[in-house]
């Protein structure tokens, strides 16, 4: 019986297919991570657009031109190349406002996530490492936080402090930390029984050094993945608050506020709300895909299944 050169002969003398080569396995891995790569590309486009908004935006987003109000996009009848996406209800260029609006959404999203991640990681580490009364107290606080409806809490805080970007970051950051705390607590409970932590205790290391030098570095992967996914959620919440008038105030361009301003003109000029809404969709989709890709790449259990 002729045996193919790329086959492996088993103990029973039967011909078995050879194991796939490393290049093929790598291509399949990239195929599984293609959505993560696409999310990374969208993330870079959004970040670069926000950073270089003064350079790439064709017009000043605050200039009002009543003579050219609600001009349709350039590819529609009545549109002009001067305003590719058209203008809003008071003649401001929509493309420029969409580009500049990404700055606010990214600023609020990243700042709120950093604040909530810092609080949540510290609480999660304390609850998982010390357990006992500390764990019970922190978990009780988390349960209390989760019982408050976010919208009512945001309305109450912003009604007292006033609508502004710093206040919105504070509200979103303070209300978002329980997600991190619960995940980090579960991971810390498993890590504190590992050999390297037990050895660190036997060597007389302090609790702070064990937590921040031994345990925390092993939690970077879940923190990064959760933070990436949370940025998308924060952008939605920030746009929702601005839609209600509780976020960024006019004339600063912001996607949620732009959607709200255009809802009165949906029948005659739907593009006023359409393009800011698409910007929110693309940004959220990009961050979600990037978070899923990072989870697949950083989680060893997921990597084995790829």
Model confidence pLDDT, tens digit, residues 250-277: 888 989 999 998 888 888 889 999 999 9
Q: How many CA atoms lie within 13 A of 246 on its CB side?
A: 23
CATH label, 49-305, candidates 1.10.3720.10, 1.10.357.10, 3.90.1150.10, 3.30.70.260: 1.10.3720.10
d(CA 83, CA 73): 7
CB atoms within 10 A of CB 261: 19
Percent of the chain with pLDDT over 70: 86
Q: Dump pLDDT digits (tens) for 121-157.
A: 999 999 999 988 999 999 999 998 888 777 777 778 7
Which residues have a Cβ under 8 Å from the Cβ of 66 and sit 6 or more positions away?
Answer: 90, 91
Please report the pLDDT score of residue 21 as a whole number. 52
Indicate whether 11 pLDDT > 50: no
Q: Minimal CA–CA distance to 176: which of 246, 102, 226, 104? A: 226
- Check: pTM over 0.75? Answer yes or no: yes
Q: Cis omega before residue 209 (within 30°)?
A: no
Round to whole Å and give the CA distance between 127 and 139. 8
Q: Is 55 exposed, middle or buried (0-12, 13-18, 19+ CB in 10 A)?
A: exposed
Q: What is the pLDDT of residues 174-193, one digit of tens each?
A: 888 999 999 999 999 988 88
List the domain boundaries for the chain. 49-305
* pLDDT number for residue 1: 46
pLDDT tens by residue, 65-93: 888 888 899 898 888 888 899 999 888 99
User: Of 255, 244, 219, whose CA–CA distance to 120 is shortest?
Assistant: 219
- Indicate if the pLDDT at residue 230 is higher than 50: yes
Please tell me the predicted confidence (pLDDT) of residue 278. 93
């Amino acid at each position: 019986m002729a045996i193919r050169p790329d086959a492996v002969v088993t103990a029973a003398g039967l011909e078995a297919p050879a194991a796939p080569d490393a290049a093929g396995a790598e291509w399949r891995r990239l195929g599984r991570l293609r959505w993560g790569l696409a999310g990374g590309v969208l993330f870079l486009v959004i970040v670069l657009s926000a950073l270089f908004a003064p350079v790439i935006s064709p017009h000043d987003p605050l200039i009002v031109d009543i003579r050219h109000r609600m001009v349709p996009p350039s590819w529609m009848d009545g549109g002009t190349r001067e305003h590719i996406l058209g203008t809003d209800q008071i003649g401001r260029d929509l493309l420029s406002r969409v580009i500049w609006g990404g700055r606010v959404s990214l600023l609020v999203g990243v700042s709120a996530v950093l604040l909530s991640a810092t609080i949540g990681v510290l609480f999660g580490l304390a609850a998982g490492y010390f357990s006992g009364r500390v764990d019970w107290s922190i978990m009780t606080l988390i349960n209390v936080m989760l019982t408050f409806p976010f919208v009512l809490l945001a309305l109450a805080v912003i009604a007292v402090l006033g609508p502004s970007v710093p206040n919105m970051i504070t509200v979103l950051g303070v209300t978002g930390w329980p997600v991190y705390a619960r995940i980090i607590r579960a991971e810390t409970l498993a890590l504190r029984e590992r050999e390297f932590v037990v050895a660190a205790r036997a060597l007389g290391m302090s609790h702070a050094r064990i937590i921040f030098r031994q345990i925390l570095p092993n939690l970077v992967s879940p923190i990064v993945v959760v933070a990436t996914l949370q940025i998308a959620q924060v952008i939605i919440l920030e746009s929702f608050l601005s839609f209600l008038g509780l976020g960024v105030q006019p004339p600063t361009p912001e996607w949620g506020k732009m959607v709200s301003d255009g809802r009165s003109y949906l029948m005659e000029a739907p593009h006023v709300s359409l393009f800011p809404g698409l910007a929110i969709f693309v940004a959220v989709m990009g961050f979600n895909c990037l978070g899923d890709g990072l989870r697949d790449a950083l989680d060893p259990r997921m990597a084995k299944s790829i």
